[in-house]
Structure 1
Amino acid sequence: MMAGTVPVDSLQINILVDNSIEWMTALPPPFLNEVPQQLRNNPPIDEKLTGLPFIDLENYCCGAHGLSFLITTTHGDQRHTILFDAGPESKSIDRNIKALKIDPKAIERIVLSHWHADHSGGILTALQLIREAQEGVSNPLPVDLHPKRPIARGIAPAPSFKPIARLPADPTLEEIKEAGGEPVLNAEGHAICDGQVWVSGEIQRVTDFETGLVGGIEWVDGSWQREPGQLVMDERYAVVDVRGKGLVIFSSCSHAGIVNVLHSASKTFPGRPIHMILGGLHLAGPELAYRIEPTVEAIASYKPDYVVPLHCTGFDAKVKLREALGDKIVPGGVGTGVFIVAVKDDESEENRNTRSG
């Protein structure tokens, strides 16, 4: 047991919100795109003509600029489900939960990675769906948040760094309470779900090339400030340790830098291999192109079994990752499911030795 956690027996991940939809690429086990999941889950049938199930496009998932994971873990007879981020607005989280036939009643906690609207914008809608499904339950739902909620954040692109727009407001603590949530404020790393999930604290910045969100600004004392808006110190990641496989790391936007995230996770869970990395790596845009090569080299050095680059990773970074790591790079998207079952530690070690040989 490390960092107050327990290795889980199984982990299921549903990508509820992402910028992309990926149906056409063949995915390796344990990944499954949306279409086969839908066809196995009571689809509508063409009873008048062919007798085949419909690909029910009217009720499939949609993409949106943001990210949300549904994370379900088991350890023995204990089972837990959390929502890690909630996407950018009310429509995508609502549609996609219903499209994937997710029962919101099972969600026992919402965790927000950081205060940016493309991750927080769906929280109030998610709370509404959960509370409606949990009819008769009076206890508020825990919503795990970093305590430093900004007044406002915006965009000031390089090279002028002139402010051009602000992001939509994050939900307030009072709005979360009114929607049936209970804000739980955490700046330090902590275990949740009976130790099955680890939520980090603030991420130590150790690399010299991961300098935050270029062009990010924050409203402080009546004016826009670059440093807090660029550093995004409220960002946190989550980890699940799957017995016999290793760490599954969720880094929603990686404003701290994905290499800093991997460094932090490796310090928190010393000696544990990294099985999978999922999330936005924030390498999109010409101003961040210089980070791609050292980031790819560093990720490769951690020898993950899989990397699922999502959201803000960017096309160029995905290409470079695929060139360097081949089929370890998985083109996931909204609707993708991941189904991981633990193996015995000796089996895992044998497989890892075989791969490295």
Structure 2
Amino acid sequence: MCLSSGGYQELSEASPRQAAGEAVDPIALEPVDEVRVTTLVDNVYDALLIGDDRTSRTSFGVARAAAAQFEGGSTAVGLVAEHGFSALVTVRRGSTTTTLLFDTGMSPTAMVTNAERLGLDLSGIQGVVLSHGHFDHAGGLAGLVGKKGARSLPMVVHPEIWTRRRLAVPGLEPEEMPTLSKRALDGEGFTVIERRQPSLLVEGCVLITGEVDRTTEFERGAPPIHQAWSGQEWRHDPLIVDDQALVVHVRGRGLVVVTGCGHAGVINIVRHAQRLTRVPSLHALLGGMHLNGPAFEPIIDDTALELVAMAPDLVVAGHCTGWRAQHALAAALPAAWTAGSSGSTFHLTAA
């Protein structure tokens, strides 16, 4: 969920703190030979984007739909874009290939519709990871239910993902967000795995960060309009502690970091992944970076400067990054920045 109200002064009241729980440091993240990240859902679908040697795009005509006003009774259709994020992450190490679903978009239909139009069989995924509990990352679970194999899928989440949250914009009636139900997911047969600490999946080839250390001076979290229910009252929820990312180490290249919204701060997230894995190089950063709106636009320049110092080879800033941050990142990292879009696949291989 993206937040655009509130000021930076209010935002800065949330001071950094270390993640709770025992530190797991370092983590032996096994390097992989290949990783493919396919964006199933993003805020944008651009059928005119051009691919390159590492990026595949989806153009018009990926599927057809009935339309009586055209000769032949049908027309070409593209993909669905909505305020949400979902990606398929496929890793290959040697002859072993595994695909995970990272987030599921906002609506029950967008993710599965796009997967069908792309010819991707979601019954082949071997696990689900939710970056956090906001509904624009978990809504597509409803569409996944009923797919072959879904009932036995493991699902990795942070234990605070069930937190009730709302937006309390001054002058407006507070609006409570849809809250994930653990009972419902258990009832659908998902094997829900709750972890605050980092998790290694796919025989040690995929890291789920768990709760992220907040170490930067400028990434301070959500403004006061973002609130959580404590059990007794609504309180400012700046940290959104359930925010976590997916990390892969591409052999000879460095880390590939996939974020949902990046509520922990994308620089915090990358630093956290580097600390856990002791892999210093950032090869690629993909996903939402939450730099949209007046509460977050003041930290765009700091974020861009830190990313320039990290020198990634690929930056795909999608979902809640915002157009101002997109422009700033494209200017700061012209060789690395690549536009995101529903249906894009980013193919990264070992050196």
Q: Normalising by the residue count of structure 1, what TM-score does the alignment of the two structures yield?
A: 0.83
Is 1:124–1:176's contact at 8 Å kept on the other side of the alignment?
A: no
Is 1:17–1:68's contact at 8 Å kept on the other side of the alignment?
A: yes
In structure 2, the CA distance between the partners of 1:151 and 1:251, relative to structure 1 (3 Å rule), is closer
d(CA) in 1 for partners of 2:75 and 2:251? 36
Deviations 1:122-149 (A, max 9, x none): 12322322437xxxxxx72101111123
Match of 1:270 among 261, 265, 278: 278
| Structure 1 partner of 2:238 | 230
Is 1:7–1:240's contact at 8 Å kept on the other side of the alignment?
A: yes
d(CA) in 2 for partners of 1:319 and 1:252? 20
d(CA) in 2 for partners of 1:96 and 1:178? 26
| Structure 2 partner of 1:145 | 157
Secondary structure of the residue that 1:286 maps to in structure 2? Answer: coil
Is 2:285–2:315's contact at 8 Å kept on the other side of the alignment?
A: yes
- Measure how far apart 1:276 and its partner are: 0.5
| Structure whose residues are more often helix by fraction | 1
d(CA) in 2 for partners of 1:296 and 1:73? 28
| Structure 2 partner of 1:340 | 348
Pair 1:286 & 2:310 matched: no
Is 2:48–2:59's contact at 8 Å kept on the other side of the alignment?
A: no
Q: Which amino acid aligns with 1:281?
A: M
Identity %: 29
Secondary structure of the residue that 1:148 maps to in structure 2? Answer: helix
Secondary structure of the residue that 1:222 maps to in structure 2? Answer: coil
Secondary structure of the residue that 2:49 maps to in structure 1? Answer: coil
1:1-357 to structure 2, matched below 5 A, reads 3-35=27-59, 56-57=76-77, 60-131=78-149, 140-157=152-169, 160=170, 164-170=174-180, 172-214=181-223, 215-226=225-236, 229-343=237-351
d(CA) in 2 for partners of 1:253 and 1:73? 22
Higher relative contact order (CA 8 A, sep 6+): 2
- Measure how far apart 1:161 and its partner are: 8.7
Q: Which amino acid aligns with 1:29?
A: D
Structure 2: runs of 5 or more not aligned:
1-25, 65-73
- Measure how far apart 1:222 and its partner are: 3.5
d(CA) in 2 for partners of 1:258 and 1:277? 9
- Measure how far apart 1:111 and its partner are: 0.6
Q: Normalising by the residue count of structure 2, what TM-score does the alignment of the two structures yield?
A: 0.85
Report the RMSD for the aligned CA atoms in angstroms: 2.0
Secondary structure of the residue that 1:285 maps to in structure 2? Answer: coil
